[in-house]
Chain A
Amino acid sequence: MTTATEITDTTVREATEWLFTEAELLDAGKYREWLDLVAEDLSYVVPLRVTREREAETDIVEGLTLMDDDWDSMEMRVLRLETEYAWAEDPPSRSRHFVTNIRVAAGEAEDEVAVKSNLLLYRTRGDVATFDILSGERHDVLRRVAGGYRLAKRVVVLDQTTVMTHNLALIM
């Protein structure tokens, strides 16, 4: 068993900056560069939630999910966005990631930190006058590597049971 990283002000600042840089890349459509920030053993999951009675332990469904990606499928996602046949994202939507309430804690492994953040994702497309908003909490694991951090794990818990945007073919 390795000892967990001690969380210093520097760690918090680095993790925060990492998230902000990531958001900037995603909003600028620089998916290739974003992939460079991702670990090869990536797990990216968007679980499903249902309406349950208050006394129920969790409203997260064990079974089906909304998204369950690894590095291969994420790379394919990026390749897909680069082709001219990804009809759903051509023309691309405009997005803005608002990342707040960042909480940094020790990770399970020595070289990892667990970072929670709130996400508000605003999205418009074409000249349609309406917009979509996705709200959720991200549970990330960032792994320290030479020259920075890599995203090893992300769970996005959306605050909705029905997908309220025209698709989830975007990175949250």
Chain B
Amino acid sequence: MSLLDDHVVTGTGLVDEDTGRGRFRVHRCAMTAPEVLNRELAEIFNRCWLYVGHTSEVTEPGDYVRRSVGGRPVFMVRARKSGQVKVFHNTCPHRGAVVCRADTGNTKIFQCFYHAWTFDTEGRLTGMPGRDAYEGGADFAELSLREVARVEEYRGFVFACYDPEAVDLVTYLGQAREYLDLVVDAMGEPEIVAGSNQYSINANWKLLVENSIDGYHGPSTHDTYIKYIVSQGTDIRSGAGGGNAGYDLGNGHGVIEYGAPWGRPIAKWDPLFGENARPGMEQTAQDLARRFGESRGHAMTHTNRNLLIFPNLVINDIMAVTVRTLMPTAAGHVEVNAWQLAPRDEAEDVRAQRLDSFLTFLGPGGFATPDDLEALESCQQGFASGGVEWSDISRGMGRDRAKHDDEEQIRAFWRQWQAVVEGSAR
């Protein structure tokens, strides 16, 4: 067994940081070895806080959505009596069948179709055919739907964690909260637009993590997108000098910020929104500056943000606000889900343009995302060639303050990834 085989099994030594030499590298077997994925499932997806959904998706009592979180089927429901948002394991406490079988809906009860046990929206077992057969003393409370060990919400974002011992969500989010606040405060009352774009990529999930917060690839990979928006009248120089930066936010979270080279639907007007929308958007920009101060207001309205919440939640606050989760199903395969977040009271034409901008850039048939996917699949194919063992992630290491097209925020992810996977983060 080579040294490397050892590393793959224990998950150690796959990230190599040498500040003296200004070198940061990641061993490529982190992207290709099934053993590494097994460690990730156990150490990351079973222990970290994972995004489930948004409270705006379950506003009415009995509203529910079905999700896959960390590769496990669960569902989130607004309980009728308590009004709480609950997240249940999607398995019948009787003998296992999946209880919630639709993606979304509203219900009074959940009934398992196998033997027809019924549960109310609080999860309590309320009925079963032939109850008398259980007179031997079955404990019905024990046979209720099982809630996920930990469920907490931060400003509408509902997270779950399968580890009962985990730190609380606010501590976990740490400095990333500030950036979530910017997104939420800019919108006032945000809501998830119905529906999500689901697709998969033949590449390791961490390549998509990197790509989501990578400001370096824009000009080369997205040439045709930039040309498109320019042809539609967007002035891409409008983003210059916008305090471009990349940050390690601790706990594996990272963010890049840069002046928006295009319109932003909250309050950076662009010809794409149409003249009608202009006064309203300019007014909103002023209002936000008044309420939150000039610099925070400007950050909300004119600055783009790509935020990674470790391990697998990405919030792209760019020409629309995309909430994206990623989950590996194999070392070389990742499933992606993308939702749109928008202000509840948004003007109709701005909302339409927001959704259009999202699809044009980030949709599976858009002018940018297909090229990202191509790049990631291309990396994964390249790894198979061997010869080169490490990927280099050193860009901007010598700088006091990293820029958005440096790789500091990507290193932030990898540092935490290494600590969690080898078990030293506990």
Q: Which residues of A contact B (CB under 8 A)?
A: 46, 48, 50-53, 56, 61-68, 72-73, 76-77, 80, 83, 85-89, 161-163, 166-170
Contact with A along B178-212 (1 / 0, CB 8 A): 00000000000000011111111110000000000
Asked whether B148 is an interface residue with its Cβ less than 8 Å from the other chain, the reply is: no
Q: Residue of B at shortest CB range from A162?
A: B198
Q: What are 20 A-B residue pairs whose CB atoms fall within 8 Å in the complex?
A: A46-B365, A48-B197, A51-B101, A52-B102, A65-B355, A67-B359, A68-B355, A68-B356, A73-B228, A76-B231, A80-B228, A83-B227, A85-B224, A86-B371, A161-B103, A162-B199, A166-B201, A167-B369, A167-B370, A170-B365
Give the distance in Å from the alpha carbon of A85 to the alpha carbon of B105 in the complex: 43
With beta carbons under 8 angstroms apart, the residue of A51, A87, A167, A168 that contacts B102 is A51
Chain B residue contacts of A67, Cβ below 8 A? 359, 363, 365
Asked whether B156 is an interface residue with its Cβ less than 8 Å from the other chain, the reply is: no
Chain B residue contacts of A66, Cβ below 8 A? 197, 359, 363-365
Chain B residue contacts of A168, Cβ below 8 A? 363-365, 370
**Known contacts A86-B371, A167-B365, A168-B363, A64 near B105 by CB under 8 Å:** no
Besides A63-B194, A88-B370, A162-B198, 5 new A-B residue pairs in contact (Cβ under 8 A), listed by A number:
A48-B196, A48-B197, A64-B196, A64-B358, A83-B223
- Decide if A80 touches B195 in the complex (CB within 8 Å): no
- Decide if A163 touches B364 in the complex (CB within 8 Å): yes
Interface residues of B in 351-385 (CB under 8 A from A): 355-356, 358-360, 363-367, 369-371, 373-375, 377
Chain A residue contacts of B371, Cβ below 8 A? 86-88
Chain A residue contacts of B358, Cβ below 8 A? 64
Give the distance in Å from the alpha carbon of A67 to the alpha carbon of B367 in the complex: 11
Minimum C-beta distance from B224 to chain A (A): 5
Contact with A along B78-108 (1 / 0, CB 8 A): 0000000000000000000000011111000
Chain A residue contacts of B373, Cβ below 8 A? 88, 166-167
- Decide if A72 touches B232 in the complex (CB within 8 Å): yes
- Decide if B370 touches A64 in the complex (CB within 8 Å): no
Chain A residue contacts of B355, Cβ below 8 A? 63-65, 68
Minimum C-beta distance from A89 to chain B (A): 7
Q: Which interface class (under 10, 10 to 19, 20 to 34, 35 or more) fits B?
A: 35 or more
- Decide if A163 touches B198 in the complex (CB within 8 Å): yes
Chain A residue contacts of B339, Cβ below 8 A? 64
Give the distance in Å from the alpha carbon of A162 to the alpha carbon of B366 in the complex: 16
Chain B residue contacts of A166, Cβ below 8 A? 201-202, 370, 373-374, 377
Minimum C-beta distance from B333 to chain A (A): 12
Minimum C-beta distance from B121 to chain A (A): 16
- Decide if A68 touches B359 in the complex (CB within 8 Å): yes
- Decide if A89 touches B198 in the complex (CB within 8 Å): no
Q: 8 smallest A-B Cβ distances: which pairs?
A: A63-B194, A168-B365, A88-B370, A64-B195, A167-B370, A61-B195, A85-B223, A163-B199
- Decide if B103 touches A52 in the complex (CB within 8 Å): yes
Give the distance in Å from the alpha carbon of A16 to the alpha carbon of B231 in the complex: 36
Q: Residue of B at shortest CB range from A54?
A: B102
With beta carbons under 8 angstroms apart, the residue of B102, B359, B370, B374 that contacts A65 is B359
Asked whether B126 is an interface residue with its Cβ less than 8 Å from the other chain, the reply is: no
Minimum C-beta distance from B351 to chain A (A): 10
